[in-house]
């Protein structure tokens, strides 16, 4: 792996870390320690696999720590161990950093940690987005009407900009879009594990696959259709098309 600019690689017996260079003194020793202990006062973050915590870093900053945890049937046998020579935490750091450089609204990765080789366990530390909730929660808390249309339109713009930047998200769903209320809705895309980078805007087929996955997420989490009326779905697609330069249907 090529370490992105502004990051450095650290090593200790059995542990490798890639960390933002200015944070080495504050959290380098903590990340290299075995076992890795959650800082005092850490609080779990609601997530599908129960593997994330909101933490205060030893240097005082706020962040979210996510342990890589398997899903599906394999999780019954192996919860946190992965196999491979391309470690997923390091790859996610590289892809997320590249996506941010392309203008994608993604959280800043502060560090990635891998314990072991070939068979390994991983951790990703990202900057916290204060006061943010998932798009699912934001839709539930926002009455139908102009405010909700603005919310889904902003989500459409953010997804459109991501696709125009050539970033394909492997798991685009209502819980991987985060909304921070800063007057106007402010949407961030989470979880670039298994995301892919293209050299130009995504092709129509790749865009459709991402949007269909998002649509399936909406139908699964809102089977009664109460969170997104037809005019709100139309607002999402109009904003998406504008962000794509009106090419999303090409």
184: CATH: 1.10.510.10
Are residue 84 and residue 176 in the same domain, yes or no? no
Structural domain count of the chain: 2
Whether residue 2 is predicted with pLDDT greater than 50 in this model: the reply is yes
Q: CA 242 → CA 158, 216, 236, distances in Å?
A: 11, 23, 10
Q: Is 223 exposed, middle or buried (0-12, 13-18, 19+ CB in 10 A)?
A: exposed
174 vs 185: which has the higher pLDDT: 174
Q: Which of 136, 141, 156 shows the shortest CA–CA distance to 217? A: 136
Q: Which of 22, 23, 18, 25 shows the shortest CA–CA distance to 4? A: 18
Are residue 137 and residue 171 in the same domain, yes or no? yes
159 inside domain: yes
pLDDT at 85: 84
Instruction: Supply 230's token pair.
Output: 């037809």
69 inside domain: yes
Are residue 114 and residue 166 in the same domain, yes or no? no
Eight-state DSSP code of residue 168: E
Eight-state DSSP code of residue 202: P
Q: Which of 22, 25, 141, 171 is catalytic?
A: 171
Whether residue 249 is predicted with pLDDT greater than 50 in this model: the reply is no
230 inside domain: yes
pLDDT at 73: 47
Whether residue 16 is predicted with pLDDT greater than 50 in this model: the reply is yes
Please say if 184 is a catalytic residue. no
Provide the percentage of residues in the chain whose pLDDT is more than 70: 92
Are residue 139 and residue 115 in the same domain, yes or no? no
pLDDT at 49: 52
Are residue 121 and residue 17 in the same domain, yes or no? yes
Are residue 173 and residue 107 in the same domain, yes or no? no
Q: CA 6 → CA 11, 89, 110, distances in Å?
A: 17, 17, 10
Mean pLDDT, residues 116-136: 93
pLDDT tens digits, 32-82:
999 999 988 899 987 655 589 999 987 788 999 999 986 554 444 556 789
250 inside domain: no
pLDDT at 87: 95
249 inside domain: no
Phi, psi of 243, rounded to the nearest 5 degrees: -65, -30
Are residue 65 and residue 123 in the same domain, yes or no? yes
Q: Is 4 exposed, middle or buried (0-12, 13-18, 19+ CB in 10 A)?
A: middle
pLDDT at 47: 60
Beta strands at 62-67 and 52-56: parallel, antiparallel or unpaired: antiparallel
Domain of 175, in residue numbers: 133-243
Are residue 111 and residue 162 in the same domain, yes or no? no
Are residue 119 and residue 23 in the same domain, yes or no? yes
Phi, psi of 154, rounded to the nearest 5 degrees: -65, -40
Q: Which of 112, 133, 111 shows the shortest CA–CA distance to 59? A: 111
pLDDT at 248: 43
Calculate Rg over the CA atoms of the chain.
19
pLDDT tens digits, 158-167:
999 999 999 9
Are residue 147 and residue 107 in the same domain, yes or no? no
The stretches of the chain forming alpha helices (DSSP H) are 24-32, 88-101, 135-141, 146-164, 204-221, 230-243
Question: Are the C-beta atoms of 107 and 129 separated by less than 8 Å?
Answer: yes
Asked which of 127, 157, 187 is the last residue of a domain, the reply is: 127
Asked which of 92, 127, 162 is the last residue of a domain, the reply is: 127
Are residue 11 and residue 118 in the same domain, yes or no? yes
Asked which of 127, 142, 163 is the last residue of a domain, the reply is: 127
């Amino acid at each position: 792996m090529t370490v992105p600019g502004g990051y450095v690689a650290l090593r200790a017996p059995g542990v490798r870390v890639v960390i933002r260079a200015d944070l080495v003194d504050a959290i380098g020793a903590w990340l290299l320690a075995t076992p890795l202990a959650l800082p005092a006062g850490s609080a779990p973050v609601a997530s599908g696999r129960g593997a994330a915590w909101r933490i205060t870093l030893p240097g005082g900053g706020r962040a979210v720590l996510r342990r890589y945890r398997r899903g599906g049937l394999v999780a019954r046998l192996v919860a946190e161990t992965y196999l491979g020579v391309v470690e997923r935490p390091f790859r996610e750091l590289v892809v997320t950093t590249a996506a941010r450089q392309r203008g994608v609204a993604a959280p800043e990765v502060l560090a990635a940690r891998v314990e072991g080789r070939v068979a390994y366990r991983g951790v990703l530390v990202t900057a916290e987005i204060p006061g943010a909730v998932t798009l699912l929660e934001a839709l539930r808390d926002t009455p139908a009407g102009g405010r909700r249309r603005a919310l889904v339109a902003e989500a459409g713009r953010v997804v459109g900009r991501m696709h125009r930047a050539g970033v394909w998200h492997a798991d685009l769903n209502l819980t991987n879009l985060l909304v921070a209320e800063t007057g106007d809705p402010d949407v961030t895309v989470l979880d670039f594990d298994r995301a892919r980078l293209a050299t130009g805007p995504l092709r129509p087929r790749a865009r459709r696959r991402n949007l269909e996955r998002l649509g399936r997420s909406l139908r699964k989490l809102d089977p009664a259709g109460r969170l997104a009326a037809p005019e709100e779905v139309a607002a999402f697609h109009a904003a998406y098309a504008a962000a794509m330069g009106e090419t999303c249907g090409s």
